[in-house]
Amino acid sequence: MAGQARYLDPAIVARLGSIDLKAKTIVEGFLTGLHRSPFKGFSVEFAEYRQYLPGDDLATLDWKIYARSDRHVVKKFEEETNVECHILLDVSRSMGYSSHEVTKLQYASFLAGALAYLMNRQRDAVGLLTFDDQIQTLLPASARPGHLKTVLLALERLTLGARTDIAKPLGDLVQAIRKRGLVVLISDLLDDPDRIIEGLKHFRYRGTDVVVFQVLDPHELSFPFDRAARFRDVESNHEVVAVPAAVRDTYRARLDAMVSNFRTVLGQNGIDYTLLDTSQPLEVALLAYLQTRRRAL
């Protein structure tokens, strides 16, 4: 476990090669640990064969066994699925911030890649939408094996956008999704909380399950600065002169209030909310996803 678990460390993952290798490494490491955990039931491993019955999908027929034994057998998986998953990834400029080896966008892309890999392995249809104040990339959901590669390639080629405006792309996506499914939002949520919450509620109105990952840098969480400085917003260039020692407590209180607000209000609307620290392993995020997905089935 320890050997695999270290590949959940974002700093180590960042040094791996292509995004598909990263995604595979993360997921395999995660699942290896998971098999020895109470979440074994979420495995998407092959479970058993059974006799073909009329009405079964011919795609599940094992043609190799039919050729050897002349018997019609279908593969049975632990978790049969047909969930349509959409990963909404924030690529606004604020996601480029980093106080260590991994930017928030990198962390978010690792997470998106791992989720896509996991979803594809579960035969879920995976779609990707990147946005800043408007939709940058839109890959419709699909369960085809080759689609995963398209998603991962799109994640590999991410570029930072402009300002964050989560509500607008959310509204566009709500219109585009016709089927009940799962929406995963990965963002730093440094936007108007009310508009974000309002946008996410629309998915719930349509019966879509929503998972929100708020990705923040450790410096955003602790505000550890010690010298007086002019703090500039990377998106708006708005500046605030502050003495960290004087404002640190207030900052943290406001951050806690924001997180608490998201957790409470989103929870009240059946939306799972998880705060992620870019210095922490990705395991937390994957677990949160699996819990939500089980509820979506």
Partner 1 sequence: MGGLSFLSPLYLLGILAIAVPIALHLFRRRTDVIVEFPAIRLLTQSPVEQQRRKRLRELILLALRVTALVLLAGAFARPYLAGRILAADAAVTVVAVDRSFSLSAPGVFDRARALALQAVGDAPSTHAVALVAFDESADIVVPPTTDRGAVTAAIGALTPGVAGTRYAAALARAAEVLGPRAGQVVVVTDLQQVGWQGAPRGGLAQDVEVRLVRVEAPLQNLAVIAAERRGARVEAAVRNFGLDARTTVATLTVDGAETSRLTVAIPPQSVAPVTFDADTPAAGAAVVAVADEAGVPADDARYLVLDPAAPTRILVVVADPTSFRGGLYVERALGAADEGRAFTVTVLDGRRLSAWTSEQMAREHAVMLLGTRTLERRGRELIGTYLSGGGSALVALGPDIDPATLGDMIGAPTAVAPEPRDLGRGGATLVLEDTRHPVLRPFAMPAAALGDVVFEQYRAVGDAGRRVLARFSGGPAALLEQPRPRGRLLLFASDLDNRWNRFPLSPAFVPFMVEAGRYLTETDRQPQSWTLPSVPAGVPAEPGVHLSSPEGEAAGRRVAVNVNLEESNPAPMSPDEFLAAVPRVPRTAQPDVVTEARKAEDDQRLWQWGLLVMFVALAGEGLVGRRAM
Residues in the site for partner 1, rule: CB under 8 A? Answer: 94, 97, 188, 190, 216-217, 219-220, 225, 227-236, 238-243, 246-247, 250-251, 254-255, 258
CA torsion 256→257→263→267, rounded to 10°? 160
Q: How far is the CB of 8 from partner 1 (least distance, A)?
A: 24
Q: State the amino acid at position 142 in one-letter form.
A: S
Number of helices and strands in the chain (H, E): 11, 10
- Provide the 8-state DSSP code for 235: T
Q: How far is the CB of 14 from partner 1 (least distance, A)?
A: 19
Choice between 37 and 236, CB closer to partner 1: 236
Considering just the CA atoms, what is the radius of gyration of the chain in Å? 21
Choice between 10 and 181, CB closer to partner 1: 10
Q: How far is the CB of 248 from partner 1 (least distance, A)?
A: 9
Cα torsion angle, 216, 219, 221, 223, sign:
negative
Choice between 84 and 90, CB closer to partner 1: 90
Choice between 234 and 265, CB closer to partner 1: 234
295 membership: H or E segment, kind and range: helix 283-296
Q: How far is the CB of 145 from partner 1 (least distance, A)?
A: 37
Residue 248: count other Cβ atoms within 10 Å of its Cβ. 16
Exposure b/e, 69-88, CB count within 10 A at least 16 = b: eeeebbeebebebebbbbbb
Phi-psi region of 70 (alpha: psi -120 to 50; beta: other; left: phi over 0): left
Enter the tokens of residue 284: 């937390």
Nearest Cα neighbor of 88 from 164, 36, 162, 19 is 164
Q: How far apart are CA 292 and CA 281, in angstroms?
A: 19
Choice between 45 and 192, CB closer to partner 1: 192
User: Which residue's structure tokens are 């392995």?
Assistant: 121
Choice between 68 and 230, CB closer to partner 1: 230
Q: How far is the CB of 19 from partner 1 (least distance, A)?
A: 24
Q: How far apart are CA 117 and CA 68, in angstroms?
A: 32
Choice between 258 and 265, CB closer to partner 1: 258
Q: Which phi and psi (to 5°) does residue 18 adopt?
A: -75, 165
Strand 73-77 and strand 46-51: the pairing is antiparallel
Q: How far is the CB of 236 from partner 1 (least distance, A)?
A: 8
Q: How far is the CB of 106 from partner 1 (least distance, A)?
A: 15
Q: How far is the CB of 90 from partner 1 (least distance, A)?
A: 11
